[in-house]
Amino acid sequence: MHGRDALSVPKQLPERWRDLGSFIREQRNTARLSLRRLSELAGISNPYLSQIERGLRRPSAEILQQIAKALRISAETLYVQAGILEPQTDSQDLSREILSDHSLSEEQKQALIRIYLSFKHENAAALETKGEPESGERAASAAE
């Protein structure tokens, strides 16, 4: 039992995938679509969709877009469920703005979001590592 625990993946991600899969299944059932029909409409294989619904696979943003279109729901809804986007808050979110721009292709939207998020993560990491030395540097500068 302990060996299995040591090899297990952290629960957070697989639970998110299962939740996403359950959400997609619920939406499919609400739309009264069979697994086979949704896979046809989304342009993905029946076994792959089944694995997504069971939380065994994490679909790309492009696949989520295809599933959303087939279910006639917003891709943003699936992106939030998948953890690609945070739930909407009062503040404006550039990712949401990019996704709502109809003049961009899905590939262009995904590329822009990936770049934007990588910059945000890079800057957040830089702030974390620089946070303590900067305050020390400020104190030294103030003492001079």
For 30-52, give the DSSP string: HTT--HHHHHHHHTS-HHHHHHH
Whether residue 20 contacts residue 78, with contact meaning beta carbons closer than 8 Å, is answered with yes
Whether residue 75 contacts residue 65, with contact meaning beta carbons closer than 8 Å, is answered with yes
Cβ partners under 8 Å of residue 113, min gap 6: 61, 84, 95, 98, 99
Q: How far apart are CA 81 and CA 16, in angstroms?
A: 8
Please indicate, yes or no, whether the overall pTM of this predicted structure exceeds 0.85: no
44-92, pLDDT tens digit by residue? 999 999 999 998 988 888 899 999 999 988 888 888 887 777 776 644 5
